[in-house]
Structures are given as structure tokens and as C-alpha cells.
Structure 1
Amino acid sequence: MAGTKPDVTFLAPRAASARLSRRALLAGFGVVGLGALSACGKTTKMAASPPTDGKLESKLNLYSWGDYDNPELIQAFKSQNDILVQVDAYGSNEELVAKLSTSRGTSGYDVVVPTGANIPQMLEHDLLQELDLSLIPNFEHMDPNFTQQYFDPDNTYSICKAWGTTGFVYNTTQIDRELTSWQDFLDTAQKEAAGTTALLEDPWEVSAIALAAQGFSLNTQDEGELDKARKIIVDQLAPNVKAYVGNAATSMIQGSFTLLHAYNGDARQGLTEVKDPENWKFVFPTPSANLWMDCWAIATGAPHPDSAHAFINQMISPDTAVDQLDYIGYPIGTKGLAEQAKKAELDQQDLIFPAQKVLDRLEPSKQTPADQIRTKILTDAQARSGA
């Protein structure tokens, strides 16, 4: 009978992981992630999902990052469709990959949320199944800035769930000059902010600071370019770094930092919670930075494919976009969301929505064999900092 099922079952408490600080766990994804996939060959046939027929199944199993969806929206989906929703949480892409690769299509999960950079390797090993976009009509509302990405050019397997970028935030009472570039960040960390600088605990992001400042591709595999980046990060920047953090917001609130490497949404969270937000400024630095994207996808062998498509369709609806943005702190990639956020009077909207000229210069991170070099750069920098 309708109404007799539990509302939504969460198998990980909200306190289990700080919202979006999960990005720090990407440290070493080029080693661990590829290692997990290397054990997953194509010699064993993946279990197949039942065919879609337009009839929603009575259950949906969501496997996602902790606290990454507005629970009211999940409850609304359950109530409207009389579907039992079970939510399991993981802390890294590696954990997701390991679960799907070892189960060979029998994990029981329907909807999963990989980061875009992980999708090519996941597709190589048949961990995701094709979407039926005819069952996701709200896809027509997606902003072209966040469709047809390099990791899935035709959105055959994925749809943007949330996106953001990287920059830095600084205390203008301690640093009284205007900062606009990654070179400014490097200079300031060695001068006014020496000993009060924080870096993200992410090898790709840390290397990107020096690569961008040198005018190199953020995804370069050139060992010479990476060696130049290493010298800047390890020899010049690291001695002045106080800490390596997952979420800049927490460090801003603590008050012992003046310059912080940060994801834009985390910086926004910090600005809404510090006592003196007028004294802080976030920078979308030149010449480039990461455009990261987490994606809705359906696991190979998903036992409830119709419910999975219906769930994704609801979660990318323009009708739910502001509620989702307000909860997770990052936009979900639908058209017109900036205008909706303005009407809803959300705080710090300029940090949520970079100008188009900023979006145009961003470079999405990719997994490459050179990620092992980036991981070594980070570990050497942490050792040099005494972190």
C-alpha cells in the first residue's frame, strides 16, 4: 500500500563527511583509481540490466557522495512515485570504482555519481550503461556549457549533476593589493601570506597552480613542464604553506589563514559563515583553472532502470534546481539557474556563477599516466611544509 514504505533510507549519516570536502580525497586518484580498474578486465561478462519499459519499479538504489542531495527532493520523488529510495554513500571515486568493478554488474546500485574525469576509464571497463534520453526529457533544459564534455561527447552515459571551479580567497585587511592571477597567488604566498597560506590536498589542483602560472596546459604530460611546476611548488611555495585542506570554509572560519586555495562553492560557504565577510575576496584566477563536474549515471546491471531514469529526470528539473543548489552549494547545470538564484535571493551568487569569460578559459581535469608525477609533487610539497 502507498505510504507504508520507509521514506528514504540513508546508510551513512550526514556527519560522516563534510559537504563537498570529498574533493580532497582525489589525491592519488591517478594511482588508486587506475589500479582498481586494471583489475577489472572485459573477459568476465557484466550482468545486464533489465530492459526499460516505461513502468517505474518499486525501488531505487542511489550510490553517491555523502550529503550530496537535498533530502526533501529525494523524499518528494519517493512520495510522488511510491518508490522506496535507499541511499548509500562513498567518500571517493576510487571507492565507487572498486564497488562497481568487483561486483561485475551485480552491485544492486542504480544511480551513481562519478566525477567526469573518471568516466572514460569507467566506460572502458563497462561500469556504466547507456542512458535513454527519451526517458529524461528534462535534459533539454541543460546549459550547453555543461553538456557534450570530452569524457562523454554525446551525453550517452552521463548528465551534469553539479559543477564548479577552483581559485583562491584572501583577506584584504592583510593583503592590501589586488590579486588576479595564479602568479599573484604564488608571489603573495611567499610574501604577505607566508606562513598563513593553505593549499587544497589534491595533487592535480596543486600542480595546476604552477602549470597555469607558467602558461602550460593544466593536463600536461610533458615531464619537463611538470618538473618546472615541481620546483615552483616544492621549492618556492611549500616552505610558506601552513596546511593542506579539503574545505577552505573551515580554515576561513578558524581565522589563522590569509590566503587559501579553494573551490568556489567552499569559499562561498566560508564567506557566509565568517564574522567579517567584507574583508575577504574570492578570485577566479587567470589564465586558467579546473572545470570539475560530477555526473548522474546509471551503473551497468542496474536492477531498476526505469526508476533510475525517472529519478535523474526529476533531479535535473528546473523546478528543483534552486532547492538543490541551495542545499549542496553548487549549480546543477540547468539553463537559467542564475536568474532563478537571483529571484530566490541566494547569498554570494557571484561565487556560484562565474562570468562566461571565466567559463571559456577553464580546462577540465583529466586522468593521465602523469597523475603519478602530480601525486609525488604533492607528497614532496607536504613533506617540505612539514604537513
Structure 2
Amino acid sequence: MTSCTSGDQVASNDLPDQDDNILRLFNWNNYISQQTIERFEQICQCRVTQDYYSDNEELLAKLAAGATGYDLLVPTGNAMDTLIHQGVLSALDKAQIPNLKNIDPNYLGTLFDPDNRYSIPYAYTTTLVGFNREKLAELNLPTDSWSIIFEPEYLKKIRGRVTVLDSQRELMAAALKYLGYSANDTDEVHWQQAKKLIIQAKPYWAAFSNTSYIRELAVGNLWVAHGYSNDMYQAALDAQKTGRHFTVDFVIPREGAVLSLDSMVLHHTGHQPDLAHRFINFMLEGKNSAELTNLTGSGNPNLAAQPYILPEIITNPAIFPDMAQLTRLEMLQDINHTQRRLLSRIWTEIKLR
């Protein structure tokens, strides 16, 4: 068993042969700093390798296609549902994770894993509206509601300057919340209402985009985007660093939104469960967890991290929502095969219109 407490740091050039002491991580791209990885490697006298995925569907598809040998995955809640039901996760030994005490209880006991038998919260994002503050003020447009991406009376003023996520679940969730329903509503009548709302707005949108909106907001080509809080933070930072004469702002719409909680889990094909537990406990230390948030602008469920998080991040209510806002946020839940087929059909109709 590898000794790996925070006081056991060794010089990297003193590391032993690590061929059999490798932690294999399957993670989102740019979701942990290289400095954090190197510190863990030194402390635990091991090596960390990473493969990456761009969304949960890609993660699930690669695993379904036979990808094996990963010690740790970092899926979002609705993918957690699938992984648990498939029986491909190993239960955690919480005795090896004393830093679990650092997690805010509001992010424990989720619907997908009520006892946290399999999952440890890692980070979260909210799905919201980002916008060019000065331009929208000039046009006297609302910035606190999903109406800015769905209502033609507003969209006609910003035609071609708006993008929405190229995601069935996320865009439907925004439409459902605007209509007053749950993001997890599966009533077909409500889905059809959401489809109608989306189709009437679509002619005003520039694109369905999952990544390019970051740059386009930052340079001023876009004035409004539906996207993720960590991406909006990056766009705001980029606009500021390049001296743009406008501010990229982002807010959680008053109707509510989606909160995506990413968790660390053990895959049953992993070869280093003890090392994986040590990595989880390491990432739950306050400074290590804060490095993640300071790098990506993601929300952080770790209370011990808060003293080390940059003030401009931790004071932003769109990244760190207060209790009142948390009550308006929902985590997406998995849907069954029949619902998935219906949603795919609705999505095809939306894309073809």
C-alpha cells in the first residue's frame, strides 16, 4: 500500500518505478490544474494519467464501447443515474475519505445517490444566461429571465447575436423552466409546448453552440448566450484581459435553472482503488479543491476551499448561489428509453425547422 499523506512529499526525481503505480483518470478536459496533479504525484509517489471527454454522452458511449481500466470518473448527475443502474461503479470506503467532512451538506444526499455510496461531489456549474451588459442596457432588454432567448419581442432587437446550447436536455430544461415547469418534467404535452417555444425563437438565433460562445461573447460578436457558468466566467475574464469596452455578465434567470453536480466515482475496472481513494481525499483538501475553482471558475461544494477561492469568483452569485437561489435550481435526472426516443424525435423536429 502506497504511503500518501500530505506530509510524505518527496522530490519528483526520487520517484520509484511507477509502471504499476498509475492512477488512471477519465475526466472533463481542463478540469484539474497540472500543479495539483504534480503535487499528488509527489506526495503519493505515483503517476496520474488522464483521458478526456467533452460531454456525458461521450463518457457513457466510450464506456459502453468497452473502455476499461479507469480508476476514477467525474460524471454529472444524470450520467450518474445511468452508471449506477448499469452496476459499473464500486462502492466507496468512506473510512479512507476523512475529508468528506468538508463538503457542504446541501450537495450530499442527491436523488441519484442518496447515501453517497458511490459519489463524492467535485464541482458544479449552473446553466444560465450570459450577456453583453452595456449592449443589453442600451437596448433596454431584460437580463434576469429566460425570455431574452425565447421571446420574439426581445429577440428581434438582437437577431443573429444569440446562441443556445446544442443540447437536447439543457435547451428543453430552459424552455420548461420558462413555462413554469420542472426541468425534469416528462409530460409530453409540456414537451410539445417547449418545442413550440423553441421553434418560434429559433429564427432569431445565430447558432446552437456548446463551446464557441465563450470566444464570441468575449470579442463582442454575441450579445446573449445560453451556456454554463464556468464558460461565462472565462468569457468575462477574456473580455477584461483584452481591454474590451464592454462587460460580459451572467445571471441565473429568475424562473430557475439547471445545476450540474460533477462527482468523483470509482469504476469497477480500475486497478488502484486505494490510490483512487487517496486522490479523492486529496482533492477534498481545501487548497487543492480551491485550485480547481480558481482555474475553471466552477462552483465548489467544498466549504474548506472557500478561504482560498478568488474573491471575484466566490462573491459571484451565479457561480456560488445562495440558499434562495439554490431552491430554484434543479439537477437533471435520467430519463427512460421511451422518453429518450420521444425527446430525440422532438429534437429532430426542432433542428429541421
What TM-score, normalized to structure 1? 0.79
For 1:383, the equivalent position in structure 2 comes to 352
Shift in CA distance, 2/329, structure 1 to aligned 2, threshold 3 Å: closer
* 1:358 and 2:325 aligned: yes
Worse overlay, 199-208 or 189-198? 189-198
Structure 2 unpaired stretches of 5+: 1-10
Percent of residue pairs bearing the same amino acid type: 29
Offset from partner CA, 1:190-234 (integer Å, 9 cap, x none): 332222111111111111222111111111111100001111101
Question: CA separation in 2, counterparts of 1:261 and 1:164?
Answer: 13
SS in 2 for 1:97: helix
SS in 2 for 1:174: helix
Deviation at 1:308, TM superposition (A): 0.5
Shift in CA distance, 130/137, structure 1 to aligned 2, threshold 3 Å: same
What code does the residue aligned with 2:259 have?
Answer: L
* Pairing partner for 1:132 from 80, 86, 93: 93
Shift in CA distance, 189/8, structure 1 to aligned 2, threshold 3 Å: farther
Question: CA separation in 1, counterparts of 2:17 and 2:173?
Answer: 43
What code does the residue aligned with 2:150 have?
Answer: L
SS in 2 for 1:3: helix
What code does the residue aligned with 1:170 have?
Answer: F
* 1:167 and 2:131 aligned: no
SS in 2 for 1:173: helix
For 1:69, the equivalent position in structure 2 comes to 32
SS in 1 for 2:115: coil
Shift in CA distance, 67/175, structure 1 to aligned 2, threshold 3 Å: closer
For 2:105, the equivalent position in structure 1 comes to 144
Deviation at 1:184, TM superposition (A): 4.3
* 1:300 and 2:268 aligned: yes
What code does the residue aligned with 1:195 have?
Answer: G
Shift in CA distance, 151/233, structure 1 to aligned 2, threshold 3 Å: same
SS in 1 for 2:87: coil
For 1:207, the equivalent position in structure 2 comes to 172
SS in 2 for 1:319: helix
Question: CA separation in 1, counterparts of 2:228 and 2:341?
Answer: 22
For 1:60, the equivalent position in structure 2 comes to 23
* 1:264 and 2:236 aligned: no
For 1:242, the equivalent position in structure 2 comes to 206
Structure 1 unpaired stretches of 5+: 10-56
What code does the residue aligned with 2:352 have?
Answer: A
Deviation at 1:380, TM superposition (A): 3.4
SS in 2 for 1:163: strand
Worse overlay, 270-279 or 311-320? 270-279
For 2:291, the equivalent position in structure 1 comes to 323
For 1:49, the equivalent position in structure 2 comes to none
Worse overlay, 286-295 or 306-315? 286-295
Length, aligned pairs only? 332
Shift in CA distance, 280/101, structure 1 to aligned 2, threshold 3 Å: closer
Offset from partner CA, 1:264-284 (integer Å, 9 cap, x none): 111111111114475433121
SS in 2 for 1:246: coil
Deviation at 1:133, TM superposition (A): 0.7
* Pairing partner for 1:81 from 44, 48, 57: 44
Shift in CA distance, 282/262, structure 1 to aligned 2, threshold 3 Å: same
Shift in CA distance, 152/262, structure 1 to aligned 2, threshold 3 Å: same
Deviation at 1:378, TM superposition (A): 3.8
Question: CA separation in 2, counterparts of 1:59 and 1:244?
Answer: 39
- CA RMSD, 1 decimal: 2.6
Offset from partner CA, 1:134-155 (integer Å, 9 cap, x none): 1011101001121111110111
Contact 1:8 1:87 in 2 (8 A): no
Offset from partner CA, 1:151-178 (integer Å, 9 cap, x none): 1011100111110111112223332234
Shift in CA distance, 321/157, structure 1 to aligned 2, threshold 3 Å: same
Deviation at 1:299, TM superposition (A): 0.5
Question: CA separation in 2, counterparts of 1:6 and 1:291?
Answer: 42
* 1:223 and 2:188 aligned: yes
* Pairing partner for 1:287 from 243, 255, 268: 255
Shift in CA distance, 141/268, structure 1 to aligned 2, threshold 3 Å: same
For 1:311, the equivalent position in structure 2 comes to 279
Question: CA separation in 1, counterparts of 2:124 and 2:16?
Answer: 31
Shift in CA distance, 300/323, structure 1 to aligned 2, threshold 3 Å: same
Worse overlay, 347-356 or 253-262? 347-356
Shift in CA distance, 269/157, structure 1 to aligned 2, threshold 3 Å: same
For 1:367, the equivalent position in structure 2 comes to 334
The 5 Å alignment of 1:4-153 reads: 58-101=21-64, 103=66, 107-153=68-114
Deviation at 1:182, TM superposition (A): 1.6
Shift in CA distance, 337/2, structure 1 to aligned 2, threshold 3 Å: closer
Shift in CA distance, 87/335, structure 1 to aligned 2, threshold 3 Å: same
Shift in CA distance, 283/347, structure 1 to aligned 2, threshold 3 Å: closer
Question: CA separation in 2, counterparts of 1:91 and 1:122?
Answer: 17
SS in 1 for 2:32: coil
SS in 2 for 1:251: helix
Contact 1:174 1:192 in 2 (8 A): no
